[in-house]
Amino acid sequence: MPTAAHTSFNIKASFFEPLSLAPSRPPSIRVNGRLVPGARQDTAGRFWAFRIAGLEPDTEYTLQLTHGKDGTALCDPWPLRTLPSPEASPGHLRVATYTCAGGPNFSIPPSLFNPFKTVDYRRRLFDRILAHEPDLVIANGDHVYFDLPMMDGILAHPLEPLFGPFLREVVAAFDREEAVLGTPNEIGLTTVADDQIASIYGVRFRSTPVFFITDDHDYFENDDATPERVTFPPDSFHASLRNALQRLYFPEFIAADDLPADLPGRITRGAIPLSTHFGRVRYGDLFSGLLYDCGGFLSLGDGAGLVPPTVESWLLDETRREDTKHLVHFPSHPMGFTSGKWREWYPDLLESDGSLVEAIRVDENGGKYKWQVGWWEQHQRRLAALGAQQRRKALVVSGDLHALGAVRIETSGALALHQNPVYSILAGPIGVGDLGWPSRARGVEARIPTELSAASLLELKERNGFTLLEFDRDATRIETHGCGPEYSTPSDLQLDRALELEIA
Question: Please, what are the domains in the chain?
Answer: 1-82 (2.60.40.10), 90-145+180-503 (3.60.21.70)
Say how far apart CA 213 and CA 220 lie, in whole Å.
Answer: 15
* C-alpha dihedral (172, 178, 179, 181), degrees to nearest 10: -40
Say how far apart CA 80 and CA 20 lie, in whole Å.
Answer: 26
pLDDT in tens, the chain (504 residues): 999 999 999 999 999 999 877 666 889 999 988 999 999 999 999 999 999 999 999 999 999 999 887 788 999 999 999 999 999 999 999 999 999 999 988 766 555 567 888 899 999 999 999 999 999 999 999 999 998 887 776 666 665 566 666 666 777 889 999 999 999 999 999 999 999 999 999 999 999 999 999 999 999 999 989 899 999 999 999 999 999 999 999 999 999 888 898 899 998 777 799 999 999 999 999 999 999 999 999 999 999 999 999 999 999 999 999 999 999 999 999 999 998 889 999 998 876 555 556 544 445 555 788 999 999 999 999 999 999 999 999 999 999 999 999 999 999 999 999 999 999 999 999 999 887 777 776 677 888 999 999 999 999 888 999 999 999 999 999 999 998 765 555 556 677 787 788 887
Q: According to the 3-state scheme, what is the secondary structure of 246-287?
A: HHHHCCCEECCCCCCCCCCCEEEECCEEEECCEEEEEECCCE
| pLDDT number for residue 337 | 94
Q: Is the pTM of this model over 0.75?
A: yes
DSSP state of 132: T
DSSP per-residue codes, 366-398: TT-TT--HHHHHHHHHHHHHHHT-SSS-EEEEE
Cβ 502 vs Cβ 407: under 8 Å? no
**One-letter amino acid identity for 496?**
D
Cβ 136 vs Cβ 95: under 8 Å? yes
- Compute the radius of gyration of the chain from its Cα atoms: 22
Residue 491 CB burial class (10 angstroms; 0-12, 13-18, ≥19): exposed
* C-alpha dihedral (64, 67, 70, 73), degrees to nearest 10: -40
Measure CA 189 to chain center.
18
Say how far apart CA 80 and CA 361 lie, in whole Å.
Answer: 53
DSSP state of 464: -
Say how far apart CA 93 and CA 286 lie, in whole Å.
Answer: 8
| pLDDT number for residue 504 | 77
210-213/136-140 β-pairing: parallel
